[in-house]
Amino acid sequence: MSLRPLIIGPAEKARIAKVAAWAKDHPYKPYPGCKAPGDDNRFVVKLGTYRAVFTITHARDGAVLRQLSVSVPGTKYPHPAAAFMIAHEFGFTGWDEAKPSEPGKDWIAGPHATDKCAVVAQELKQ
């Protein structure tokens, strides 16, 4: 088993805040043929060997979601606790640090088999 440390210090928090601010000011509205957020570095932050893509997504049904995908190099998935810790840093609410491998109560979380990443979403109450 290989260890993949996740360190979120002041520099990482600043990079996360920059991406979160960009996402807030530039909501992602998926439509056929649009550019994937992961292909736009303004939605991406690298935290050591972790790559996080964050958007505020306006779904077609009117829902507004925080959305995050977390990946690591190679064919493995990131550890759930690391993905949830990163989500927490992006403003996802309801995560219990005492249960780091469990998502927040109202989070939708799971693996994305095609992209080999962890995906986390939370609806924003309006």
Residue type, 69: S
Domain annotation covers residue 5: no
Task: Tell me the residue range of the domain where 34 lies.
Answer: 10-123
Q: How far is it, in rounded angstroms, from Cα 115 to Cα 13?
A: 25
Is position 117 within any domain?
A: yes
In a domain, 38, yes or no: yes
Cα separation, 76 vs 92, in Å, equals 24
What is the average pLDDT value for the chain, to the nearest integer?
Answer: 93
In a domain, 4, yes or no: no
pLDDT one-digit tens code per residue, 57-87: 998 889 999 999 999 998 899 999 999 999 9
Q: Nearest 10 degrees: CA dihedral of 12, 16, 22, 24?
A: -160
* Total tally of structural domains belonging to the chain: 1
Q: Is residue 101 part of a domain?
A: yes
State the pLDDT at residue 2: 60
Return the pLDDT at 32. Answer: 85
Q: Which residues of the chain have pLDDT under 70?
A: 1-2, 126
Q: Give a yes or no: residue 48 inside a domain.
A: yes
Would you say residue 81 lies in a domain? yes
Is 3 inside any structural domain? no
Beta-strand ranges (E) seen in 22-85 are 44-47, 50-58, 64-71
Instruction: Note whether 82 and 103 are within 8 A (CB).
Output: no
